[in-house]
Structures are given as C-alpha cells and as structure tokens.
Amino acid sequence: MLNTVHIGGAVRMAQETTKKCVMCGKTIPAYSNFCPYCGAKQPWLEDDEVQNKDARKLLKWYQKPVGKFVTLVVSAIVILWFGSLFSLQDGPGHNKVARELTQYFFNAQDHTPYGDKPSVKADKKKGVIVKIDQSSKAMKNLKAGKPAQWNYLVKRAQNRSKAFSGIYADQINAKFKVVDKHNPKKVLLKVNQGKVTYNIADKYSK
C-alpha cells in the first residue's frame, strides 16, 4: 500500500507494510499485536517479514547474547520485586499479621478457652508463634477426651498456614507453632504449609 506524503511542496511516496489478520482476514498494520477489528492476537513477525529497519535492528539485538542477558536480568529484577511485595517485612508488616491472626484465632478477646490474653507473634526467622495457657479450659478438655476446642485451633492454624504458603515468597511465614505462654519451650502444635507436623493431642489419644 502506498501513501502520499507532502513535505515542503515535494511529494514523497512512503511504503506502509501491512498484513492479514489471522482470525478475520482483514488488512491491518504489520506491527499490530492485536487486530483492531476482531481483537485477535497476532503472531510475532519473523525477521524476514520485518520491513522497518529500526524494528529489524532491535530484533537482531535481542537475539544476540547481550540482548538475551539484559532480558534475563530485567526479568529477574521484576520477579524479585514482585516477590518482595508478598514477603513479610520487619515492623508494621509483622504487627499487622499478628493482629489479623489474633482476631482470626481468638476473636481479639482477652478471656478465651485457651487462657487469658493469648498472643500471636509473626517472626521473620521463626514464623508464626501462638502462645496459649497449657492449663486453660481447652487443654483440660483435651486431656479429658473432649478435643473440640483444641481441634478448632488446630484447624484454624492449618488453614492460615496453607494460605500463607501460597501468598508469601518466604515459606518461613507458613510455619505455625503453638506453645505454652508460661513455658515457650513447651510446644503444643506445629504446622508447616498447612500440614500438622506435631500435635500434642496425639499424646492424649494413645
């Protein structure tokens, strides 16, 4: 297709490269990624199809080792940047997660079946640590063969751990641990990526 271009009284003929849409068959500009008529995505032009010199040079540059290297570096930076958006950070990020989990586990109540003022901490190196009272009503019921309240806490820990494993880049955030608030070394429950790896209830069910 020839277009007439007027420049300073002179007439110049400029060639415009076109192609056919792969879906509807209508004539569209050669460098269209999508058909303006039917919206169909168009295939990338091969090197011998590219008529524009600048586009051809750019394509050849990307095909060279340096072009491929730059593309990989840029891609890596973008991936790392997106990953950082979903990683727990120090400070407010951890506090926000802790508040959300306190609401989720204990409805933000001070007096619960798991003792008074149970706490949740989101630690960058240790994961999520939930502190409850081992002498609480829920634990006494568990020992007495009534595990309903304890199982509720276990299920909630599993759900959040599994969700965090899909949200956060650092899988340490998917590690949940429930301990006795009076003796933090006393572990009552461990959950990793939604799977229970230790449950003190197994001790009482034997």
Residue 25 lies in a domain: yes
Let me know whether 33 and 118 are in one domain: no
Let me know whether 77 and 111 are in one domain: no
Residue 3 lies in a domain: no
Token pair listed for 23:
């879906």
- Looking at the predicted structure, is the pLDDT value of residue 147 above 60? yes
Let me know whether 28 and 50 are in one domain: no
* CA atoms of 185 and 95, how far apart (whole Å): 23
Q: Can you give the pLDDT at residue 166?
A: 83
Residue 153 lies in a domain: yes
Q: Which residues constitute the domain of residue 16?
A: 9-43
Other Cβ atoms less than 10 A from the Cβ of 176: the count is 26
Q: Can you give the pLDDT at residue 4?
A: 42
Q: What is the torsional sign of CA 177, 181, 185, 186?
A: negative
Let me know whether 76 and 105 are in one domain: no
Residue 147 lies in a domain: yes
Q: How many domains does the chain have?
A: 3
Q: Can you give the pLDDT at residue 123?
A: 85
Let me know whether 97 and 189 are in one domain: yes
Q: How many residues does the chain have?
A: 206
Helix (H, G, I), strand (E, B) or coil at 59: helix
pLDDT, tens digit, 9 for 90 and up, residues 36-92: 887 777 776 554 454 555 566 666 666 677 777 777 888 888 777 766 555 544 434
Let me know whether 116 and 173 are in one domain: yes
Let me know whether 58 and 103 are in one domain: no
Let me know whether 65 and 129 are in one domain: no
Residue 4 lies in a domain: no
For residue 185, with 0-12 CB atoms within 10 Å meaning exposed, 13-18 middle and 19 or more buried, which class applies?
exposed
